[in-house]
Structure 1
Amino acid sequence: MLSAAVGAMEPIQFQDAAEEARFRALSAELRCVMCQNQSLADSNAQIAHDLRLQVLELMREGKTDREIKDYLVARYSDFVLYNPPVRPATWLLWFGPALMLVIGAAVVVVVVRRRSAVAPAATPDDNEQEW
């Protein structure tokens, strides 16, 4: 049992330096579907290893990088891409942080204006206190 697990995680053997460079570049652009914020290249999860082998197999079948990404997106959605395309399904992902910043700034402006309107105005007699 242990030998099968160790054998499953053996390093990938490349045919040449060009294949290795292409593989590393492609796997750095893809996200591990199990890990929240690790690339396919950085993840130690078993599924990441399986996906790396799948990517290498597709490369060796002559698929382009675009075809490989499309294949993975079809199986795992845009989540597998570090830079998903801008389309209605990903608008929240792309524009959500800016929208939250604008909403936060609006809330701050409203709160500051309300507090300044409620704050009592200083009268000339307030400055001349008798002790």
Structure 2
Amino acid sequence: MIRALLLLLALATPVWAVELDEMLADPAQEARARDLSKGLRCLVCRNENIDDSHATIARDLRLFLRERIAAGDTDEQAIAAIVARYGEYVLLNPTTGGANILLWLAGPLLLLLGGGIAVATLRRRAVAAEVTGLSEEEQARLRELTGD
């Protein structure tokens, strides 16, 4: 029973799309490539990293990344070369600079705006309820009904 469970767990491990002919001979460089590719988006698969994608463009990205690493680029230089070629969309975690600052700030700003609108609406309703109040006839009828 335990062996069957362990076998199922072993079979349930993720299957990476990286093929043997893509791998670098140096294990340290291959580890760097794997680590960097986890932060790069497959342009076809949307929110899947290139390490897990079987798309042709993901393979091209993996090969280009490994070329840059084999050429001696630092991690930052390799990522910069990929961004220069494919655009910032390829990054799973976009930068917070430039036009992206609008995307990072949009959520909190809209939340504050919605909260401000809700508070203003509730205050306006409270003031309107105080101003309108009950007419003399309505107050007399209320006294009759409550027995006051």
User: TM-score category by the smaller chain?
Assistant: 0.7 to 0.9
Partners in 2 of 1:100 and 1:54 — Cα distance? 39
Q: Tell me the CA shift for residue 62 of structure 1.
A: 1.3
Deviations 1:53-88 (A, max 9, x none): 111111111111111111111122222223333323
Matching residue of 1:107:
117
Moved more, 83-92 or 55-64: 83-92
Matching residue of 1:15:
25
Q: Tell me the CA shift for residue 28 of structure 1.
A: 1.0
| Residue 36 to residue 101, structure 1, CA distance change in 2 (3 Å) | farther
Say whether the 8 Å CA contact 2:39–2:91 is kept in structure 1: yes
Q: How many residues in Structure 1 have an aligned counterpart in Structure 2?
A: 123
Matching residue of 2:48:
38
Partners in 2 of 1:117 and 1:41 — Cα distance? 59
Of the three residues 66, 72, 80, the one matched with 2:90 is 80
Moved more, 71-80 or 111-120: 111-120
Q: Equivalent residue of 2:145, what SS?
A: coil
Say whether the 8 Å CA contact 2:88–2:94 is kept in structure 1: yes
Q: Tell me the CA shift for residue 17 of structure 1.
A: 2.6
Structure 2: 5+ residue stretches without partners: 1-17
TM-score under structure 2 normalisation? 0.67
* Aligned-residue RMSD, C-alpha: 2.7
| Residue 127 to residue 27, structure 1, CA distance change in 2 (3 Å) | farther
Bigger Rg, which one = 2
Task: Give the partner amino acid of 1:14.
Answer: L
Matching residue of 2:105:
95
Say whether the 8 Å CA contact 2:47–2:92 is kept in structure 1: no
Q: Tell me the CA shift for residue 27 of structure 1.
A: 0.4
Partners in 2 of 1:99 and 1:90 — Cα distance? 14
Q: Percent identity?
A: 39
| Residue 118 to residue 36, structure 1, CA distance change in 2 (3 Å) | farther
